[in-house]
């Protein structure tokens, strides 16, 4: 996958990628940099958090459909990161997605959104979300405003509201 090669060539160590079970469709991504003037950066320093670990799961028709992205660790509170680590951003919805987006661009946008006008707190517990916990927590979110507004499905399987929410 060209995306993986492009990320390996990044010189600024912004992100690093590890394949999950050697699958090109399942990545663990370490976000090493956020705005150093942000509250989140200060919290990361205070809790000795070196990076934010995310999981990206790509659909078979990527780049024509967005990946599902969630925060695995640390547990963040507030903003675009929902309970269970799921991320609610227009960019990651069928309506907001463009096949021209790269993983690097998505990660840079996510990093910017983490600190823009939001106060994030790293929970001192420092527990990461297990995949099972993420799925259980996200089942509760299926009726969320985010989903109803943006046709977002927390498990990345398509909208549970069928085609109704995709109609304009």
Residue 153 lies in a domain: no
Residue 131 lies in a domain: yes
Residue 127 lies in a domain: yes
The residues near 11 (Cβ < 8 Å, ≥ 6 apart) are none
Residue 121 lies in a domain: yes
User: Residue 36's Cα: distance from chain center in Å?
Assistant: 20
Cα separations in angstroms, 59 against 24, 78, 132, 156, 168: 10, 27, 19, 8, 23
Residue 158 lies in a domain: no
> What are the structure tokens assigned to 160, written together?
């549970």
User: Residue 134's Cα: distance from chain center in Å?
Assistant: 12
Number of independent structural domains in the chain: 1
Residue 111 lies in a domain: yes
What range defines the domain where residue 127 resides? 2-141
Residue 61 lies in a domain: yes
Instruction: Please name every residue paired with 160 in a beta bridge, in sequence order, or none if there are none.
Output: none
Of 88, 146, 159, 165, which one is the catalytic site residue?
Answer: 88
Residue whose token pair is 């690093």: 16
d(CA 126, CA 50): 12
Residue 149 lies in a domain: no
Alpha carbon distance, N-terminus to C-terminus of the chain: 33
Cβ pair 56, 68 in contact under 8 A: yes
Cβ pair 71, 53 in contact under 8 A: yes
Instruction: Go through 98-129 and write b for each residue having 16 or more CB atoms within 10 A of its CB, e for each that does not.
Output: eeebebeebbeebbebbbeeeebebeeeeeeb
Which CATH number fits the domain that encloses residue 29? Answer: 3.10.110.10
One pLDDT digit (tens) per residue for the chain, 168 residues = 788 888 888 777 889 999 999 999 999 999 998 888 888 888 888 888 899 999 999 999 999 999 999 999 888 876 678 877 888 888 999 999 999 999 999 999 998 888 775 555 555 444 444 443 444 444 444 444 445 544 444 444 443 333 333 333
Instruction: Please name every residue paired with 20 in a beta bridge, in sequence order, or none if there are none.
Output: 23
d(CA 89, CA 125): 25
What are the pLDDT digits (tens) for 63-91?
999 999 999 988 887 667 887 788 888 89
Residue 88 designated active-site: yes
What are the pLDDT digits (tens) for 15-26?
999 999 999 999
């Amino acid at each position: 996958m060209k995306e993986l090669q492009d990320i390996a060539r990044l010189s600024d160590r912004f992100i690093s990628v590890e394949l999950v079970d050697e699958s090109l469709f399942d990545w663990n991504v370490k976000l090493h940099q956020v705005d150093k003037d942000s509250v989140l950066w200060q919290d990361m320093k205070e809790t000795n958090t070196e990076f934010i670990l995310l999981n990206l799961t790509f659909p078979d028709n990527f780049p024509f459909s967005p990946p599902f992205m969630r925060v695995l660790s640390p547990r963040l509170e507030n903003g675009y990161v929902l309970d269970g680590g799921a991320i609610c951003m227009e960019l990651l919805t069928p309506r907001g997605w463009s096949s021209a987006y790269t993983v690097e661009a998505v990660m840079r946008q996510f990093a910017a959104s983490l600190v823009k006008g939001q106060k994030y707190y790293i929970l001192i517990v420092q527990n990461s979300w297990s995949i099972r916990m993420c799925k259980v927590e996200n089942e509760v979110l299926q009726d969320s405003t985010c989903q109803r507004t943006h046709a977002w499905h927390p498990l990345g399987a398509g909208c549970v509201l069928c085609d109704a929410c995709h109609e304009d």
